Amino acid sequence: MPDALLLALLVAAVAIGWWLGRRERQGNRDPAPPNTLSRDYFVGLNYLLNEQPDRAIETFVSALEVNSETVDTHITLGNLFRTRGEADRAVKIHQNLLARPTLTALQSDQVQLELSRDFLHLGLFDRSERLLQQLIRDTSHDDIRHAAKRLLADLFDREGEWQAAFDVAYPNLIRQHDDVRRAAAHWLCEMADQERHSASPGLARKHLRRALSIDPRCVRANLLLSALAQDTGHYREAIRILMRIPDQDLDMMPIVLEPLHHAYRMLDDESGLVTCLEELLERAHVTSLIILLAETQRRRLGMQVAIDLVSEQLNRAPSLGALDYLLDLYQHQQQERGAPDNRLQLLKQHTHALLAVRPRHRCQRCGFAGQPLHWQCPSCRSWGTTRPITGIEGE
């Protein structure tokens, strides 16, 4: 059983034990037999210690009446069901609580918030949204309203309703939470991308400038601004924008290279590309940058210049990708001389196989890894946390 679930169940068990002990001391008007209650509690605790969480939860629920003193415990048990992937059972507990006329206003708001989480986990977005909108409008508790807004923004994010998510989060959530600030910048980038493809570049630029004002480290905003410049043939402007990205985040340099290469190619300025790449190489030892520079120099100055460049960079820092490219260069050189070496082909097969299975990007929050760059992690759904993998097998 996961440690977090075990801890939560232990907390719930302690709370139940406290309440049962208090009830036994105070003596209610219609008390259940003390021995029965104590037996139920210890039976549930025994199930818990023997890692039988299903039976433990059922025993704890049956041992508790719903009253003002046990609401928090019932909420916790409902949340445990949701955490274990049984949101339908959590809904039953939270709906049962909500039907109780003895709840205080704060308790009612807490239960509604948890019920909206249940609906969200079940994919019942409409029901969750209605509940959250009502809660934001009617609650008198700022912390509940704040939590409901965060959850509603997350719901709109899941649905791809970028403008609605931004409207909910702006300005308070964006100011108070770094993850919401990053997400808001990407919501604006999503809207800008849509406007770009619907031939509304002015509105797209407006969204992107706003994204940068919210999160100056939003690499994606500058990448899209450069794409807009290239769309209209302003290649020098695109290059100028692209060169902001290494200043924002040096680790994201690899995403600059393809559009940078395209802009210089459209300008027919290979010498300018070489100068730019050499300047970038002084700032960071990036495999894809080394390969692009070497390939450009090979076309301009010949095979040996490219081989010497890659060999020098490999002496500075090992890189599987650069080694694989160097083997390509050696093979081409030998073919030109009419003396192919099968040993190089064998090495090339091994390096190619290793590169084919390695991921290129990894989420810094949850560790999800894959080939493409996801602006939003497919696993933990965090925005802007996926980055190129560095090291011998990476960049």
Could you list the residues known to form a binding site, using ranges. 363, 366, 377, 380
Q: What does the block give as tokens for 304?
A: 């040996």
Sheet strand arrangement including 361-363: 369-370, 361-363, 386-388
Query: With contact defined as beta carbons under 8 Å apart, do 106 and 145 qualify?
Result: no
Are 70 and 5 in contact by the 8 Å Cβ rule? The answer is no
Provide the Cα torsion 99, 105, 109, 115; round to 10°: -10
- Amino acid identity of residue 84, one-letter, is R
Report the 10 Å Cβ neighbour count for 89: 19
Binding-site residue set for Fe cation: 363, 366, 377, 380
Instruction: Calculate the dihedral angle through the C-alpha atoms of 115, 117, 123, 127, rounding to the nearest 10 degrees.
Output: 50
CB 334 within 8 A of CB 306: no
Three-state SS at 123: coil
- Looking only at the bridges linking them, the beta strands covering 361-363 and 369-370 are antiparallel
